[in-house]
Structure formats: C-alpha cells, structure tokens
Amino acid sequence: MEPVIVTQKANCRNCYKCIRSCPQGAIAFSDDQARVLSQECILCGRCVEVCPQGAQQVQSDLVNVRRMLSMGLKVYASVAPSWLAAFPDITFPQFSAALKKLGFTGVEETAAGAAQVSLEYARLMAKGERDNIISTCCPSLVLLVERQYPELTPLLAPVVSPAVAHSKMLRSMFGSRIKTVSIGPCPAKHWEKQENAALSAVLLFEELKTLLSEKGVAFGEEDIQCTETHTPLSRLYPSPGGIIATIPANKRQGYKTYAVSGVEGCKETLEAVRQGQIHGYFLELNTCLGSCVHGPGISREKAPAILVKERLLSAARKKSTGAPSVSESAQVDLTTQFHPQKKKERQPREEEIAAILAQTGKVTKEDLLNCGTCGYPTCRDKAVAVWQGKADVRMCLPYMREKAESMSNLIIEYAPSAILLLSPEGKLLEYNHKAMEMLGIRGKGARGHEAEDFLEEGLPPREEWPVSDVSAFVKGGERQVRLSVVEMPGGDAIVLLRDVTREEEDRTAFEKKREQTLRVAQEAVDRQMRMVQQVARLLGETTGETKAALLRMEQAVKGEKRR
C-alpha cells in the first residue's frame, strides 16, 4: 500500500502526541521524527487530528482533481451523506450547484450506493451462512480486521463500501471512461481508491473547501437540475446505528444487531468475537468515535453529535422533491473479497527488554512509572518498541529530565565560578560549592539571605541587568571578583562570581615589575646619552687640535718652498 498519511518533517516537534493517540502503535520515532508505518496503519486519521503542528497529513488528490476539471473531463462527484455535518444549513441542490460551477459534470449522493449495500447485507442475513456478520462500510475497520484480527476476515461482509458501490453505479450509467471523485470525511478512502479502480480520486471535505475558495465559488443558488436519492433513509449511514436503521427488521432473518463507533469499542467487540463470546450478530462497526459524521476530513470544530444526529434524521425523513439519482437504477456487482494481512512481529527476549529498560534507569518494578508520556502505555511496551526499531530509548521524559537535572547539578556544583540563584525578591535560593568557599558560607544556612550580605556594594540595580564582568569585592575587602547577573523568565536571577584576587595580585606585581623595568631602562638610556655627550665634546676638542696642527704644518711647508 502506498503511504496515505505522511509526516511533514519540518513540522514534527517531538511531542509524541501522535504516538499516544495511535490505537495501533503504527507510528515509529527515530532521528527526532515521527513516521507512520503504512503496513500497520489502519488510516483512522487520529494522528492527523491530534497533531498540533500539522506534521501528520493525508496525501491529497487536490492536484489530480484540479487537473481533471481543467481538462474538461467528465468528472462525477459522489458526496457522502456526512456533508450534512461538514456543511450545515446547506441544501443538496445548493451543494450540487457549487460543485458544477467547479466543473463537475454530475453530482450525486453516495447514499444511493449505501441503499444498494444495505440490500446486500439483507441478502447475507437471509442466507444465514455466517455465525456473525461484520459490516464493511468503514475501510478503516476492514484494515483493522485484516491486520489485527486476521482470523475474523471471513466474517467481513463480502460487500464493497457505499463509495465504491456508487462509483460502480455511476460508471455503469455514464460509461467506464468517466472520472469519479468520492467527497467525504474519510482518509481511508485513499486506500479504497488503491484497491478499486472504480474510484478515480478522493477529496476530504476540508479539501473541497479549499477548492471552492480557490475558485471563488460560494453556496447560494440551487441547481434546478439537481438529482437526489429517493431512498432518503440511507442518509443515516454516517451516524452510529445508521446502517442497521436502513435494514428492515423483517429482513434481518434472526440476526441480532449491535452498533459500535471508535477503535477501542471496535477492538473490544472483535476480541469478544475472537473469544467465541458473540454469536448470531450483525455488527455495525466504525472506527471513528461518533461514526463518519466525526471523521478526520471534517473541520476540527465539529458540531455536537446530538445536533448532527438531528440534521441526519431530518434529512432521512424528508421526502425527495427532485428527480431521482440516475445511478439508482443501475445493477452492478457489489461483492468483493478481503484478505488477512497480519504479519506476526518478532518479539524480544526478557533479558533484551530488561537491558533496554536499564538504559533509562529502570531496573526494579518501582522504577517502571508507566506514565505514558512517551506515547506507549507502559515502560515495557516502549522497550519492546525500541527493540523493534519503532521508538528511541531517549523518549522517556522522566529519565531525560532526571538526567538533565543531574547533569546540570554536576556542572553547577563543580563549576570553577561561584553560582548563586536568587528569587525575584533577591533572596538566595541555591548556590554551589564554589560560592560557599568564596563567600565563606557554611552548609545551606545562607538560603533566604540577600546577596548584599556577602558583597561590599551589593548587586547593581535590577534596571541595569543584565550586567557582565563587573568588578566587585567580597565583604572584608580581601577577595576581589568579577560579577555577572542574568535575569531569568519568572523573575529569578543567576549571579556568577569569578575570583580574580590572584589575577589582580599578579597584575599588580606585573605592573610594578614593568615600572621598575622601565625605570632601569630609562636610567640606562640617560647614562648612554651622557656618555655620548662626553664623547662628542672630546671629539670636538680633538678635532680642533688636529685642525690647528694641520694649519701649522701647512704654513711650515709653504715657508720651506719659498726658501
């Protein structure tokens, strides 16, 4: 099966909400991302509904539908009766007019197919060949049976869903080359589309709203050529007990009936069937709590169930005034077969589970909190999921919090700087070992004191925070520190004190040495200058004497020449 629900990785924020909500454990988590396991998913759509970031999304046929409409193909819409929940106060003629403005060739109610499906259920009950009969209108329920209760697959009514039935009826009347689009609340219809060529595309009601908005089409005028189902009772299909209501009591041939909605209720019922506790029942099962009128494809702001029920009952009692749906007269084969798909998962040995639990500090029964924050009901279940590659061992929130706190405590306790935690009122809440040593604190007795009790000038005014690397003195004046203050959300503050007493002493000594060195150097330069001056004076005197001697010698030589 091609993936129907996919994860938008950029949106996944590691909240594990989808894992907690998935009734099948069909969501794996690795590399900080959740992903749906298509071979285990039953497409109930819960993960899509609960994800606060919209990370889990149903694959959309919007592009395909836009293309078909733009090409001018003959596209017929099959509208699920739950449109009464998605579009309250809109009549079907108005619905038909709006869809035809979008380019649909024809618009009919899926209820026409539902009526034919009910007839097939009545025939099955008349035969009385099955101990129990499980309805197959909900494709998500079919997947649940095939994958988790494969031995019950023979009890599934071998009948297609109303959407597939109606698509077959439309093709029978308008030709096999037409395109059929199922419009409804159910993401599992995408699986049906993959399994049945009769369906060309699937649109969820919310996607239809997008298409209407894009084209600027609003509900208002009515389609004067609109056709409506002339079996209005089948409009009850999307409500709990709606299928049973369409089958007259005299057609049930001795079968008792029971309607269940919600995955948990369906599982409870199926488990009872598997255990041989239920016999002679026609079971109407739907995985959506509240049935199709509360499906994932309807806006999250769903109307109360009681109001939706009133709308459906009103529509079921209303006599159709328009022409009957053309497809209602079609005679098609609605039978199908279902096949068990369950693959038995490998299970870890007890010692392997224990080893995984030990990685998160769970070595005794008391350590097993079973808090469910990881998305799994028990710590053991999560350990099994880790072994199967579905979960990350770090998903344990209590363990990771304890680990983070322990690491923070170690870092703070053994940090080379003094660390003080102050309340919004400036009182000491906590401090580390270095602070005790630096400020002369013994034990935890300084809690509740103010920082001013330990610093000569106290802290800088709060309006100047944050401050960084400000000089300060511990009371007594013997220890000099560099002070930084950071205010945290909520008003608490962290004060860091770095002891610079030794640094300042070394700096002072260095300054003294530097001054002494400069003084010695200056004295040496001065001496050298004096020597240079003396040498210059001597050289000047010597040069004068030499010049005088040369003059006398020159005169003597000239006198000799005259003689």
Q: What are phi and psi of 377, to 5 degrees?
A: -65, -30
Placement of tokens 């909240």 in the chain: 15
Q: How far apart are CA 38 and CA 157, in angstroms?
A: 24
Condensed to tens digits (0 to 9), the pLDDT of residues 513-539 reads: 888 888 877 888 888 888 878 877 887
Percent of the chain with pLDDT over 70: 98
b/e burial code for range 56-69 (CB count within 10 A of at least 16 → b): bbbebbeeebeebb
Q: What are phi and psi of 274, to 5 degrees?
A: -60, -35
What residue type is assigned to position 178 of the chain? I
Output the pTM of the full model.
0.74
Does the pLDDT at position 326 exceed 80?
yes
b/e burial code for range 23-45 (CB count within 10 A of at least 16 → b): bbbbbbbeeebbbbeeebbbbbb
pLDDT at residue 72, rounded to an integer: 93
Angle, vertex CA 473, rays to CA 472 and CA 475, nearest 5: 140
Sign of torsion over alpha carbons 279, 284, 285, 289: negative
Q: How far apart are CA 79 and CA 77, in angstroms?
A: 6
Q: How confident is the model at residue 560 (pLDDT cuts 50, 70, 90)?
A: low
C-alpha distances out from residue 28 to 5, 6, 287, 343, 502, Å = 13, 12, 21, 17, 56
b/e burial code for range 493-525 (CB count within 10 A of at least 16 → b): bbbbbbbbeeeeeeeeeeeeeeeeeeeeeeeee
pLDDT at residue 165, rounded to an integer: 97
3 state SS of 419: strand
- C-alpha R_g of the chain: 43
Q: In terms of Cα–Cα distance, which of 110, 321, 286, 298 is closest to 209? A: 298
Residue 111 neighbours by CB under 8 Å, 6+ apart? 81, 162, 229, 231, 232, 234, 235, 237
209 against 445, higher pLDDT: 209
pLDDT at residue 372, rounded to an integer: 85
Q: How far apart are CA 58 and CA 203, in angstroms?
A: 10
Condensed to tens digits (0 to 9), the pLDDT of residues 310-325 reads: 888 888 888 777 788 9
Among 154-158, 180-184, 474-478, the minimum mean pLDDT is found in 474-478
Does the pLDDT at position 47 exceed 90?
yes
- The mean pLDDT of the chain is 89
Percent of the chain with pLDDT over 90: 50
Contact 484, 467 (CB under 8 A): yes
Q: How confident is the model at residue 408 (pLDDT cuts 50, 70, 90)?
A: low
Q: Which DSSP helix (H) or strand (E) runs through 192?
A: helix 189-195
405 against 352, higher pLDDT: 352
